[in-house]
């Protein structure tokens, strides 16, 4: 089979509806390279960046400049992956024009393949405006981390009618896929069966078309992962042990090695 040389397009992601596929967050070139080497071809530069990389306690402080810098790094670390960039809090809520301007910056300066924004029916006009500017949009409904601390909190979302309404609204507005975050599994299954675009679940049960997790939770690099996440490694331990070994060798004089006399 010929290797592809171009990045996966949003339309190809939509065409995966009904086929399970993995999505992973990424924030820098080295880990993006690892994800692509592992066969993951949809990478999300989430504004979870703020918590897992920048050390904030929420995603709220992340700004457009942060997102552009880290999106560009993920793009530089990959060749054919589709790179979704989050529109950070404050960069799209005020108007359709703001949303389009911010989305263009992520594509133009960050080389994003598409953008993601949080919100359901209330964001339909924003989604349509960005899609109208030629930029594919991944929607995000259910738990919305950008406003959860000052809004509805972090509990499981189980308002079936509101969630179905939001899912149809974002699909009708032109989104090519939709993230369902912390949505009751039966409702996520119902949404997945009703809309024509792929659902990408996170804490939303096994019936979504795709699954996404936060890289640092999967690799055991974040000290406070959500209950639904699964760690496939403990890189925090591995890194600490490697650094302890280095520190010990410097203190003992074992590193660097003495030059062997000729």
The CA distance from 74 to 51, in Å, is 17
Verify binding: residue 110, ligand KIV, rule CB under 6 A.
no
- Which of 10, 171, 178, 214 binds ligand KIV (CB under 6 A)? It is 214
The CA distance from 181 to 164, in Å, is 13
- Which of 31, 41, 43, 46 binds ligand KIV (CB under 6 A)? It is 46
- Is the CB of 123 or the CB of 243 nearer to ligand KIV? 123
Verify binding: residue 32, ligand KIV, rule CB under 6 A.
no
Q: Per the residue annotation, which of 181, 184, 190, 249 is the catalytic one?
A: 181
Q: Which residues, in sequence order, are CB contacts of 217 under 8 Å at separation 6+?
A: 52, 225, 226, 229, 230, 231
Verify binding: residue 211, ligand KIV, rule CB under 6 A.
no
Query: Exposure of 123 by Cβ count < 10 A (0-12 exposed, 13-18 middle, 19+ buried)?
Result: buried
Smallest gap from residue 256 Cβ to ligand KIV (A): 40
- Is the CB of 1 or the CB of 215 nearer to ligand KIV? 215
Verify binding: residue 88, ligand KIV, rule CB under 6 A.
no
The CA distance from 173 to 125, in Å, is 7
Query: Exposure of 244 by Cβ count < 10 A (0-12 exposed, 13-18 middle, 19+ buried)?
Result: exposed
Q: Residue numbers of the site for ligand KIV (CB under 6 A)?
A: 25, 44, 46-48, 86, 179, 181, 202, 212, 214
Catalytic residue annotation: 181
């Amino acid at each position: 089979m010929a290797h592809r040389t171009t990045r996966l397009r949003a339309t190809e992601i939509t065409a995966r509806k009904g086929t399970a596929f993995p999505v992973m967050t990424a924030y820098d070139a080295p880990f993006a390279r690892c994800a692509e080497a592992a066969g993951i071809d949809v990478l999300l530069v989430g504004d979870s960046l703020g918590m897992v990389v920048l050390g904030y306690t929420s995603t709220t402080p992340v700004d457009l400049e942060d997102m552009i810098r880290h999106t560009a790094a993920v793009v530089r670390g990959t060749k054919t992956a589709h790179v979704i960039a989050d529109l950070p809090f404050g960069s799209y809520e005020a108007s359709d024009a703001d949303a389009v301007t911010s989305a263009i910056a992520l594509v133009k300066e960050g080389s994003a393949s598409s953008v993601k924004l949080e919100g359901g029916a209330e964001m339909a006009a924003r989604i349509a405006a960005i899609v109208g500017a030629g930029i594919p949009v991944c929607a995000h409904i259910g738990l919305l981390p950008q406003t959860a601390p000052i809004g509805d909190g972090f509990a499981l979302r189980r308002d079936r009618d509101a969630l179905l309404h939001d899912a149809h609204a974002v699909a009708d507005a032109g989104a090519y896929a939709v993230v369902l975050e912390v949505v009751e599994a039966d409702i996520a299954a119902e949404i997945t069966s009703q809309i024509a675009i792929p659902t990408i679940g996170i804490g939303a049960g096994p019936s979504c078309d795709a699954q996404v997790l936060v890289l640092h939770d999967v690799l055991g690099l974040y000290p406070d992962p959500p209950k639904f996440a699964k760690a496939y490694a403990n890189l925090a331990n591995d890194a600490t042990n490697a650094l302890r070994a280095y520190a010990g060798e410097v203190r003992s004089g074992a590193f660097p090695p003495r030059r062997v006399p000729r």
